[in-house]
Amino acid sequence: MKPTHIEHIGIAVANLDEAIKYWEEVMGLTCYAVEEVVDQKVKTAFFKVGEVKIELLESTDPEGPIGKFIEKKGAGVHHIAFAVENADTALVEVAEKGVLLIDQKSRKGAEKMNIGFLHPKSTMGVLTEFCSK
Ligand code: ZN
């Protein structure tokens, strides 16, 4: 297993509209998609910076993962997502090396990607996502 590139950087925001405004007006990027991922209790907005995407995450439920993250740590960088050939195979491979997983199997994320998270306890505090098409 070797990631091909950083697919996106996930950033938790308190207010999606305000955050989109910042990324467009200050950073000069264009929001090309807004999507709600009901399963993860988030509304997402996407920007492209070259090959890498910025994924803004606004919680739709204070009990959801982003709601809890913001309450504990405030807005900011939430996770780094690596593009891999096959998210399921990659999850199995790192689990065999002793890494704890949040997702034993991939699930559908934004943009219809197959995604799975590694537990930050096993990744020195960096919430890590694998994604594949
Ligand atoms: Zn992500």
Whole-number Å distance, alpha carbon 3 to ligand 1 midpoint, is: 15
Dump pLDDT digits (tens) for 86-133.
Answer: 999 999 999 999 999 999 999 998 888 999 999 999 999 999 999 999
Whole-number Å distance, alpha carbon 113 to ligand 1 midpoint, is: 10
Whole-number Å distance, alpha carbon 117 to ligand 1 midpoint, is: 9
Whole-number Å distance, alpha carbon 78 to ligand 1 midpoint, is: 9
Q: How far apart are CA 115 and CA 105, in angstroms?
A: 8
pLDDT for res 110: 85
Dump pLDDT digits (tens) for 52-81.
Answer: 999 999 999 999 999 999 999 999 999 999
Whole-number Å distance, alpha carbon 130 to ligand 1 midpoint, is: 8
Whole-number Å distance, alpha carbon 96 to ligand 1 midpoint, is: 23
pLDDT for res 39: 86
Residues within 5 Å of ion ligand 1, judged at the Cβ atom = 10, 81, 129
Could you tell me how many residues make up the chain? 133
Whole-number Å distance, alpha carbon 128 to ligand 1 midpoint, is: 9
Whole-number Å distance, alpha carbon 98 to ligand 1 midpoint, is: 22
Q: How far apart are CA 94 and CA 59, in angstroms?
A: 29
Whole-number Å distance, alpha carbon 80 to ligand 1 midpoint, is: 7
Q: What share of the chain is helix, strand, coil (3-state, %, to 5)?
A: 30, 40, 35
Q: Are 40 and 109 in contact (CB under 8 A)?
A: yes
How does strand 52-59 pair with strand 5-13? Answer: parallel
